[in-house]
Structure 1
């Protein structure tokens, strides 16, 4: 049985180029940074969890909720092929039980905050808002997109950002947790306009305060799909002197 079944819907992905040295201390052992066309990416992602089941069970009041995460991209070579995955700097959700389960079972970096979202439509576009409250102030991601969706092109930047199917967590200097995320290829809608009001230093620490005044390399919007999280593995790398 899968650990987690859910739908990930309406993904707003704001992508920045970052100095790879910033990420070195967050890199799980056994992985290396996944670089696309010479750029090292970090992404701020807002989306909705829908129809969430943990071990096949819907937890009351924890089925539908928002998530905001900051993540970067890694790969791991195993059995003659590369596994492409993500590492989360922090994942913000509005439910304390979700934070407890994720941090306890997966050693993730979840945090519970007051959150809200709103979706509206104009004649030709859709508008998606994600907000979360830190120290009495609302942080905001707002995207305006076209209504029609299209397939994500092969070898595109959008494919690089969305087609990572493993999660990696740094437990300590010798141990990494790996889990698999299964979902079909996503579709995307063109982003016509966006607005960010995010205190990166306050949310993610001094290492990421550099993003405060950075211009995103790209802003993407993905439709999402049903997902499964399963096959948790513990990877240990012993160093010998």
Structure 2
């Protein structure tokens, strides 16, 4: 029996995946909610912060990955790049704040296949690479993925020191959604819980997205993701646990 960190409600769950998520570059864009409504899974509704709807480009390192306790050779450490937005669902303990993925990019086909099989998540396998400069107090990160013969990139240069996010801040809204929701082919929805401690973040001095937005996500995403992000920061990350999903 695991105990949920959301409202301390006991939920019988089985661990699906454990890993470390490290150095999460997060570029956050204010979006027209009407663009996102077709992607909202059944049983959930769009979540907002300060009356605004956000979509995030997120790139990070998956490390020490275990699926149901087992390490899969050559699939333990890799990059992931995803485009996500935020929803909520009313549970017995109150609102469950969650994320929905428009698309998730990983470097190996087997990783994408497992995620599609168990959650019907929108994973795609593309070549990826990264560069981290951690020699200074202000880390610099570059995450890249190759699509249609061109390298796309998220670049983030930080400033200041890493700090725990303030309660009620946009950074808290972005980082502290502890549920995932995935629409199913039959019109239903799968809900799963993600557990991790609060993260420290560095604010961004520079943030850059170079991306084939139309080809990867569709033309309607172009004007939003080609604009300057509303906010950008680097989250330190931590160990995480992803629990098995259930239909709602």
| Kept after mapping to 1: 8 A contact 2:158/2:233 | no
Q: Runs (4+) of structure 1 moved beyond 3 Å?
A: 121-124
Of 149, 174, 178 in structure 1, the residue corresponding to residue 191 of structure 2 is 178
- Name the residue aligned to 1:135: 148
8 Å contact from structure 1 (residues 46, 141) kept in 2? yes
What SS does the aligned partner of 1:4 have? Answer: strand
Choose which of 41, 44, 48 in structure 2 pairs with 1:31.
Answer: 44
Gaps of 5+ in 1: 236-241
Contact 1:201 1:212 in 2 (8 A): no
Q: Is 1:211 the counterpart of 2:224 in the alignment?
A: yes
1:21 and 2:34 correspond = yes
Partner residue of 1:3 out of 7, 16, 30: 16
TM-score (normalised: structure 2): 0.91
Alignment of 1:212-231 (within 5 A): 212-231=225-244
Summarize the alignment of residues 90-239 of structure 1 with structure 2, pairs less than 5 Å apart. 90-121=103-134, 123-146=136-159, 148-172=161-185, 174-235=187-248
- The residue that corresponds to 1:88 in the other structure is 101
Over aligned residues, Cα RMSD in angstroms? 1.4
Q: Which moved more, 1:141-150 or 1:225-234?
A: 141-150
Unaligned 5+ residue runs, structure 2? 1-13
Distance in 2 (alpha carbons) for counterparts of 1:172 and 1:34:
23
Note the C-alpha offset of 1:121. Answer: 4.4
Count of aligned pairs: 235
In structure 2, the partner of 1:238 is none
Per the normalisation by structure 1, the TM-score is 0.94
